[in-house]
Homo-oligomer: A and B are copies of this chain.
């Protein structure tokens, strides 16, 4: 394994220092990333967080029109309650705080503990669970939170920025999650700095279907295929749970080690599939947004837009990872 790091133990802090140095709009304190300008009186605060290794998620989405604070944990390990408590207190502008939590046991437990322990702040929380690779049943921890987290953070952020009350922001955040689904395919495993070798072995001839964003192996393995076939597999899986119709927000997300050129090749196939179903690509994102360290592969995330959600998506955003309108 070759990585641009100093030590496996310092990588998260070193990267946070780099973010602080690169983005004057951010402040890093006690492993929490904040907007430099601090909370705005009367605005609902948005706090998210999760294991590191998914950059730009979450810290790269802190800024105007999106998050107020992000709590990065160790690599692939959810943050601890202390971070979440600090963040929740710090971003509270008096209108309460929304916790945006990806549906993983660790994230859920730590955010729940924090929500119980923080007092004097009104806290609501939304669970993101968009990954159709996992059946949502009694026999699993439920669908994982992956790409749709970007949609939820962006749209809830826009609504909070517009001054909506906590209940409304939480409600729309939940709605965005319900209207979104994702599916991911890996060409290679990621390698965590501590483990130093690939989390799973994947031969040159095969790909892993329905992978998570922590190097969890997927549900199945199939022979390597063309971009068209792989995009088709992902889209059928999504279409099966979320029949495509009307205006769509479509994200083709890179897992971290896949070049942009290949993501555009995939996007062309995804767009063709959408057209074939009589739906329409109304908004799109192509690039690395919810990554899994150096994994090669992609995920597709789709949200069924309506006028409100489209307006919220188009609203100005100014973060290191997502920026337009200002």
- Residues of A whose CB lies within 8 Å of any CB of B are 1-7, 11, 14-19, 21-23, 52-53, 55-56, 60, 187-188, 204, 207, 224, 226-228, 230, 252, 256-268, 271, 281, 284, 286, 288, 291, 293-294, 296-298, 318, 320, 323-326
Contacts and interface: CB of A to CB of B under 8 A. Distances in A.
A5 B296 CA distance: 13
Given A258-B4, A260-B291, A284-B22, A15 B55 contact: no
A205 to B, nearest CB: 9
Contacts of A261: 11, 15, 52-53, 55, 293
Nearest to A14: B265
B286 A18 contact: yes
Nearest to A229: B6
- Copies of this chain per assembly: 2
A291 B224 CA distance: 25
B265 A5 contact: yes
Given A3-B262, A6-B226, 18 more contacts: A1-B204, A4-B187, A5-B262, A5-B265, A6-B265, A14-B268, A15-B265, A17-B264, A18-B265, A18-B286, A22-B284, A23-B284, A52-B261, A53-B259, A53-B261, A257-B258, A257-B294, A259-B294
The dominant DSSP class at the A interface is mixed
A27 to B, nearest CB: 15
Contact of A2 (B16, B56, B224, B320): B224
B55 A293 contact: no
A267 B258 CA distance: 21
Contacts of A60: 260
